[in-house]
Amino acid sequence: MLKLKNYSVENVLENIDIEFDTGKTYVIMGPNGVGKSTLIHSIMGRPDLEVSGDLTFMGSDISELPVDQRARLGMYVAFQAPTSIPGLSNFQMIKQALNLKGSELAEHLAKFRDTTEKFNLPKDWDKRNVNTDASGGEKKKNELIQLSLLNKKLAMLDEPDSGLDVDGVKSLVSFLNEWRTQHNTLIVVTHYDRLIYDLNPDAVIVLKKDGVDIGDTDLARRIFSNGFDNV
Amino acid sequence: MTIDNLQNNLYKEGFVTELESETFPAGLDETVVEKLSKIKNEPEWLLKFRLKAFKRWKEMSEPQWSELDYNPVDYQALSYHSAPKKFDKDEIPPEIFETFEKLGVPLHERDALLGLDTEKPKPDNLIPTVAVDAVFDSVSVATTFKAELEKHGIVFCSISEAVQEHPELVRKYLGSVVPYTDNYFATLNSAVFSDGTFCYIPKGVRCPMELNTYFRINARNTGQFERTLIIADEDSYVSYLEGCTAPAYDENTLHAAVVELVTHDNAEIKYSTVQNWYPGDENGIGGVYNFVTKRAKCEGKNSKVSWTQVETGSAVTWKYPSCILKGEGSIGEFYSVAVTKGKQQADTGTKMIHLGKNTKSTIISKGISFGDSTNTYRGSVKINPGASDASNFTKCDSLMLQDSRALTIPYITSLNDSAKVEHEASAGKISEEQMYYLATRGFDEDDAMNLVVNGFCKDVFQKLPLEFAAEANKLLSVTLEGAVG
């Protein structure tokens, strides 16, 4: 699904090699400030990040593609601190993104309301403006609702659990279990041990200042016991 | 045969209709005013009104206080009347139909235009929602659904016609809100006004359809001086919209209109404008000078006037739709989206004058500027000593892109301690963060910009009649096209 080779992000990460396979779940861990968010936003193509090396998505080199095209190829990022867009309603954004008309519109609105309910968000959520007048936790849930409606093959979630209460985390796990299939790939950046164990990832990737360690949940366990430096 | 003007591809309405027209030679003096009045067959009192105004105009000089910088108008180089030749309202030249069809104005209710509709049975589900008065250059071309409206006692026709058919009404109200001495351009208008819309809604009547006037300037080197007068008698309601376009000529065209609105007890007028006059090319050559005086007098208790405008065109705009809140409990509202790009300049805003007790005003102004343009909001809230418990809420937001200028110049004068005046303002750019967020959702730059700007304007667009909110959205999209980078 996604392949990084000799991949560097100026001033942040150097010469990383990682492969993400279809149908698998990955967790990215690492000390604060090491570049986890930067990594996933660089994959998304954020214009201010200087990237070098190979970046392949579904077999094609995407290093020259603008962000919106990568999104349309099936890439998604859930923001750590989602951006507010006053005057644009949550459902309107989905409607425009998918160019919904006619009966599709009604179907998607129903699905939207359904998912909103599962996350315990207010009934008029479709009319609320994107990430405006919303609590931190509500904004994080909003990122997941969008994921549920947009057709995505690769979801990169940046600390999706932060800001969620205990029920919120349960909903998150339940949602991700439903979302992930043999045909898509999930990458989750998190510090939260419970979430990692509940997700039971196929691999745990630890970003460190001097490189990358790849292991399984045992690696995560050891980090939680001994810290990043002693592993 | 219509010819598409190639000077400005981006301005769709820039085409020209080749038409034989009857145009006065350039120049302005008493005889021109007299000739104008005569050609319209006007009564003596109206000719006197014009001449008084013209005499006054000669003593006045053009205002210099605005932020606007434009080539002076040579008033002697303009023609003050242009009407398509061989014009008989019953025999509308086909070219005019074509023009309006091209512009998307629903003029092809052929039956209504030819006056055949009253006899013909209509299918039950065809309830007209929009009646149109089309003004081509200086003359009202056609007014649809007049018969239908007459059944309710509603008068909706050109001002020229109103002068003939309802002279008492015109005489009573003309100049009662904007006196002929008011300002340079209003005075000029009072002398040479061409045509415009007249509307009277009788007591207790709620106008059953949107009233719409569509203005189109076609002849070169003419000034367009419309005069619109709308009167809502006690307990009545009307929603009115005007749309405007003009071809892409090199010379500047002057549009100096006057709009007067009067509301009696409990009456309401909703007045919306979608303005897309030719803005000039990217070097600032050509374009319409839009110098307009619009004012409402809320004469009656609890009466209400809302001005909603979407301004995207004209080279230079100078207009302040205002409300005189005289009746106790009367309400004035102003919602505006003004977009400037290239070399356009806009100095626009409103004046809310609180005279009566418990009067309320709301001002929401959104300015969007690109390129080298200057976008100024100039607003005045005046609370007179007698206006106890008056309140005003003002919100002015500016969105600037590239090196444009945005200015906000509020004047607030409150002479009554119990009045409440709130003012909020914000200025900013479209953030890169917002553009990136939308890009990650699959929106390209143009679409992302559209979404952000539409969101910015939402408060105002929501106030437009439903039929026109879509048109305004489309106009905004077209205006924004290619505005990034």
Q: Chain A: nearest CA to B466, how far in angstroms?
A: 17
Contact across the interface for A88 and B452, Cβ inside 8 Å: yes
- Please check whether residue B207 lies inside any domain of the structure: yes
Least CA distance to A88: which residue of chain B?
Answer: B455
Does B86 score more than 50 pLDDT?
no
pLDDT at residue B210, rounded to an integer: 81
**Phi, psi angles (nearest 5°) of residue B231:** -125, 125
Residue with tokens 């990594």: A39
Instruction: Determine, yes or no, domain membership for B485.
Output: no
Which helix (H) or strand (E) is B150 found in, with range?
helix B146-150
Interface of A with B (CB under 8 A): 44, 46-47, 66-68, 71-72, 76-77, 79, 82-88, 93, 96-97, 129, 146, 150
B368 occurs within a structural domain: yes
Residues 6+ apart with CB under 8 A from B127: B208, B209
Nearest to A85 among B442, B452, B457 (CB): B452
Number of domains in chain B: 1
- What does the alpha-carbon distance between residue B156 and residue B145 come to, in Å, rounded to a whole number? 9
What is the structure's pLDDT at B476? 81
Smallest Cβ–Cβ distance between A68 and the set B444, B451, B456 belongs to B444
| Residue in chain B nearest A45 by alpha carbon | B440
Chain B residues lying within 8 Å of A146, measured CB to CB: 441
Q: Is residue B161 part of a domain?
A: yes
Contact call for A93 and B451, based on CB within 8 A: yes
Show the CA angle centred on residue B378, arms to residues B377 and B383, nearest 5°: 135
* A83 Cα to chain B: minimum distance (Å): 6
Closest partner residue to A87 (CB to CB) among B440, B447, B456 is B456
pLDDT at B20: 55
Domains with residue ranges and CATH for chain A: 2-86+152-226 (3.40.50.300)
Q: Do A97 and B441 touch (CB under 8 A)?
A: yes
pLDDT tens for each residue of B131-171: 556 665 555 555 667 777 888 999 988 888 899 999 999 99
The upper half-sphere exposure of residue B429, i.e. CA atoms within 13 Å in the direction of its Cβ, equals 12
- Residue B236 above 50 pLDDT? yes
Provide the domain limits for residue B133.
Answer: 2-480
Provide mean pLDDT across the span B288-307: 93
In a domain, B366, yes or no: yes
Domain membership of residue B160 (yes or no) is yes
- Segment A147-160 mean pLDDT: 95
CB distance B190 to B180 below 8 Å = yes
Six token digits for residue B308: 């909603």
pLDDT of A135? 92
Helix, strand or coil for residue A227? coil
User: Hey, are the CB atoms on B455 and A76 less than 8 Å from each other?
Assistant: no
Q: Of B426, B482, B433, B476, which is closest to residue B455 (Cα–Cα)?
A: B476
Task: Choose among B434, B441, B454: nearest Cβ to A71.
Answer: B441
Which residue among B439, B447, B451 sits closest to A67, beta carbon to beta carbon? B439
Contact B437 A82 (CB under 8 A): yes
- How many residues in chain A? 231
Q: Could you tell me the pLDDT band of residue B127, with boundaries at 50, 70 and 90?
A: very low
Chain B nearest CA to A41, separation (Å): 10
Q: Give pLDDT tens digits for B419-462.
A: 999 999 888 888 889 999 999 999 999 899 889 988 899 889 88
Q: How far is CA B243 from CA A111, A135, B420, B465, in A?
A: 40, 42, 35, 13
Among the partner-chain residues B431, B443, B457, the one whose CB lies closest to the CB of A68 is B443
**Residue B134's closest CA among B165, B111, B107?**
B107
- Whether B451 sits inside 8 A of A85 (CB atoms) is yes
Query: Rounded CA gap, B300 and B266, in Å?
Result: 7
Find out whether B352 and B326 touch, Cβ atoms under 8 Å: no
The predicted model gives A85-89 an average pLDDT of: 90
Residues of chain B in Cβ contact (below 8 Å) with chain A: 431-434, 436-445, 447-448, 451-452, 454-459
Q: DSSP 3-state helix, strand, coil percentages of chain B (rounded to 5)?
A: 25, 35, 40
Between B416 and B277, the higher pLDDT residue: B416
Distance from CA of A71 to the nearest CA of B (A): 5
Distance separating alpha carbons of residues A175 and B113, to the nearest angstrom:
61
Residue of chain A with shortest Cα separation from B433: A83
Whose structure tokens read 């309320």?
A: B360
Q: Which residue does chain B place closest to A40, by CA atoms? A: B440
Q: Which residue has the higher pLDDT, B130 or B298?
A: B298
